[in-house]
Amino acid sequence: MKDESSFFTIDHIIELENGQSIRVWETPPKNDTHKKNSTIVIAAGFARRMDHFAGLAEYLSSNGFRVIRYDSLHHVGLSSGQIDEFSMSIGKHSLLIVVGWLRAKGIQNLGIIAASLSARIAYEVINDIDASFLITAVGVVNLRDTLEKALKYDYLQLSIDELPDDLDFEGHNLGSKVFVTDCLKNEWDTLGSTFMAVQGLNIPFIAFTANDDSWVNQSDVEELIDNIDSTQCKLYSLIGSSHDLGENLVVLRNFYESVTRAAVALDKGSLDLDIEIVEPGFEDLTSTTVKERRLRNKIENELLELA
């Protein structure tokens, strides 16, 4: 289905056998651009919906990429489930479903862009999905350390019976027992488990850190890259940014520009960001953001009527 009022945003629904569904938005490359080899999959950070990345999709599509975004199961957004049932393994399951759906459509070259918590999920699956390249932004590598900094307490040290029912993460109630049980059972929590996941990575990989990130230690990301036995990895820093890449328009635009340069470079087999890109105008970015918000509201109202 294509909603003409949303310009280039195409709404897809992946129906699952258990009755759940994952909502996917596709942004085709702009007609006047040189089409790139890769299709980009954007995995949004925790408590971020796919429409939060409207600006990045506009940048990437203006530079010739087909862009795929999705809302994870049991998360905020348009897909099935409630956020109090979210776990890292559900996030992994959602990403694998979307990748499988794209493969079934015959799409071969996939570049993955993952932000914050979703980067940890991308690290877990990247060696199994045959991606063309990986880009992470303020990517979590030591989940336990990041959770302690974000929540002001190390809840993973508690027994399951001692945990509160919910953890307040940026105004969202994360189901503590579901999340913590999954973290410990499937070893999502340590820096070492992330090292193990990316061991043997042999595709081009660019990681962006933020020089004022209080949730992710840059030294951990440096150690992660040093742990990868490949010459196709590079680390860049987003100067003047905190973990919240949308804290102001200057930081946000720098994020869009930097990640787009990385995608264009990696699509050509390079790690050098000193390249020219097409930059959408402020009016185009604003218009796309508003139209996608209207599309999201329209779909939300339709889902409420069906409930």
Residue numbers annotated as active site: 116, 213, 243
Tokens of 201: 């990575």
Cβ-based neighbour number of residue 47 at 10 Å = 18
First to last CA, the chain: 21
What span, in angstroms and rounded, lies between the C-alpha atoms of 40 and 180?
A: 31
Alpha-carbon span 118 to 124, nearest angstrom: 10
| 133-137/205-210 β-pairing | parallel
DSSP string, 142-201: -HHHHHHHHHTS-GGGS-GGGS-SEEEETTEEEEHHHHHHHHHHTT-SSHHHHHHHHTT-
Rounded to the nearest 10°, the torsion over CA 198, 26, 107, 48 is: 10
DSSP state letters, 249-284: HHHHHHHHHHHHHHHHHHHTT------------HHH
Which two three-digit tokens encode residue 152? 């002001």
SS3 call for 212: coil
Contact assessment for residue 277 and residue 63, using Cβ atoms and an 8 Å cutoff: yes
